[in-house]
Structure 1
């Protein structure tokens, strides 16, 4: 009983020391605040939700009522007002980058449409502007088809559709990219800060010389490790919770249907694993620059291949198998189910168990490595 009380006492006070050290480290403190505020807001608006003010020009060789209707439909906010150019100016404008899209309406286009000849209409796209090119092609194709159909229906009755497709968008009815990006940014930043803060705390002890003070105190490597785990986990948990309530639900007006409390419990469990990874990396690196370079090699695969940015179903089978041994993959699946789809414990309990098991393995590995590192320093 006395040994347990001593463990809790030392772990508690060493954790309080970590808070003071973090408050004195303005770089890590600024990074924490920035990642859960400005970075989340910027991620939500970094990619446009739809086409916005794309440059378009039209070569109207038909000069008919139908061609005028098509030109009139290409309007803001998706497009800037179309520029009317000649056929000779088309290639020059595309080469100079003045237009992303150039629509070439051939002569006798309206006459051929009404005669049922299915004439071709050419759309030239500057594919170097990838985001606009991919989305805008679909927009223009839909606009042209709608205008041609509405125009032709004045002259002949439309053919009835055998099947009518009625789409229903669940969990994000407006298909807003900001909703997904903001919540995903919070999830990714939990991984990033959970690893960086604990690893940096251990490196900071070594660079400032305070690790030698700990070695002469009656504390064990387990107490040192637990103190860093719980203190940095509290920092990330509080920061992510405030980010979710203030930035995501407040400034971005994102409707989070899931339980924030369940997400907090899942985050706390996941931080147990992420912080263990950070401490293990901190024992391998000799200084902060080395730790920073090592973090790039670890964080990028964890974030890109975890399913936060790309569905795991679209990844190669080998990647999916390898990433299933990382806690990030299961945490992302758990967090998205809770926050996006309002999943309860009955749905996500398998992910809870897997994260706990993987976290326990990383904790044991980090503890063993920390003991060897401290033993080497004492020798």
Structure 2
């Protein structure tokens, strides 16, 4: 009981200290509100208002149909240019796509020939260039077929493919971006808050006050873990409920309570990582550099951005030792697919094991750092 009382009072001290740090409070608030909203709405993964120009050398009914097939929101209203304006327009970034329809295009199509339409793409706009290429091919193919046959061709196949999209019927990228940003913010802030709490005490000289008190390193470390973890849990839960569900209208299929339970196990590991980095770094700039080399792999290779199956097998095996891999897996299963504990219990066990290892390593490093200060 004496140890628990010390951990509780030290945690309250950490919360009060955080409450006086205005910049850190603003970072926490922005990460779970503005950043979530921007990640969900600011970076569309589909084609949106791509600038396109058309060189119409045919001036036929078919080329006019193709011209009228490009309209918002996928494309800006196309502009007619001559062939000599193609390269200058691409060079200065006026257009992402320039479509060149050759002369006698309609006549060759009706004659059964296979005329070539040239598409020039500004590949420096990589996301638009990659997605828009397929959009334009489908549009031209459809318009040519419609013009030639007078109606859309109905092809009877031996087997019919019936597509059913589950969990995100409209394939809305905002659903994915909002939840994944909350998950990434949980990892980032849990490491930053605990590491910054330790560095703040070292810079302010209060760590020496703790050393002369009847406290052990375990109590000091556990106080930072539960206090900073509590802040992240409260803010992340509020973000899921008020920002993701209410503001962005993203449906949550599973139990938020089960998700919070998995998040607490994840925080047990990431707050320990923050303590470990806080003992290595001597200042906040050094902490920032360490965050770059540790946080980016944890987020980019965890499956929150790209599926783990698309990564090299060696990377997949290495990332099994990272808590973010299992946290992303259980979060997607619970929040997207409505999974219960019977499905995600392996991820819970993995987080317990990884968190215990990280905690013991951080505690050993913390004890060594404390003894060197004594």
TM beyond 0.5: yes
Superposition TM-score, scaled by structure 2 size: 0.96
For residue 184 of structure 1, report the CA deviation from its aligned partner: 0.4
Normalized against structure 1, the TM-score is what?
0.95
Corresponding residue to 1:170 among 158, 166, 169 = 166
In the superposition, relative to structure 1, how do residues 164 and 59 fare at CA in structure 2: closer, same or farther (>3 Å)? farther
Q: Please report how far the alpha carbon of residue 333 of structure 1 lies from its aligned counterpart in structure 2 after TM superposition.
A: 1.1
**Contact conserved, 2:146 with 2:152, CA < 8 A, in 1?**
no
Quote the residue 1:231 is aligned against. 227
Closer/same/farther in 2, CA of residues 89 and 284 from structure 1, 3 Å limit = closer
Structure 2 counterparts to residues 298-313 of structure 1, below 5 A? 298-313=294-309
Structure 2: distance between partners of 1:203 and 1:82 = 56
Deviation >6 Å, runs of 4+: none
CA-atom RMSD, angstroms?
A: 1.6
Task: State the SS of the aligned residue for 1:341.
Answer: coil
Q: How far apart, CA to CA, are the structure 2 residues paired with 1:155 and 1:286? A: 71
Is the CA contact 2:146–2:153 (under 8 Å) kept in the aligned structure 1? no
Q: Distance in 1 between matches of 2:155 and 2:113?
A: 16
Out of 31, 36, 42, the position equivalent to 1:35 is: 31
**1:142 aligned residue:** 138
Residues 7 and 220 of structure 2 are in contact (CA less than 8 Å); yes or no, is this contact kept in structure 1? Answer: yes
Taking the TM superposition and a 5 Å limit, the aligned residue runs for 1:76-95 are 76-95=72-91
Structure 2 match to 1:283: 279
Asked if 1:56 is matched to 2:81, the reply is no
- How far does residue 155 in structure 1 lie from its aligned partner after superposition? 8.5
Q: Are the counterparts in 2 of residues 194 and 236 from structure 1 also a CA contact under 8 Å?
A: yes
Deviation at residue 365 of structure 1 after TM alignment: 1.0
Q: Secondary structure at the match of 1:123?
A: strand
Is the Cα–Cα contact under 8 Å of residues 49 and 178 in structure 1 kept in the other structure?
Answer: no
Give the match's secondary structure for 1:102: strand
Q: Distance in 2 between matches of 1:17 and 1:168?
A: 53
In the alignment, which residue of structure 2 is the partner of 1:130? 126
Residue 287 of structure 1: how far off its partner (Å): 2.0
- Would the alpha carbon gap of residues 118 and 197 (structure 1) be closer, same or farther in structure 2, given more than 3 Å must change? same
Compared with structure 1, are the counterparts of its residues 152 and 197 closer, same or farther at alpha carbon in structure 2 (3 Å cutoff)?
same
Aligned counterpart in structure 2 of residue 241 of structure 1, from 215, 231, 237:
237
**Aligned residue number for residue 274 of structure 1:** 270
Q: Distance in 1 between matches of 2:103 and 2:231?
A: 67
Query: Residue 156 of structure 1: CA displacement?
Result: 11
Indicate the SS of the match to 1:343. Answer: coil
Q: Give the equivalent residue in structure 2 for 1:358.
A: 354
Partner of 1:208 in structure 2?
Answer: 204
Aligned equivalents of 1:156, 1:214: Cα separation in 2: 78
- Number of residues of Structure 1 aligned to a counterpart in Structure 2: 374
Instruction: Compute the displacement of 1:216 (Å).
Output: 1.3
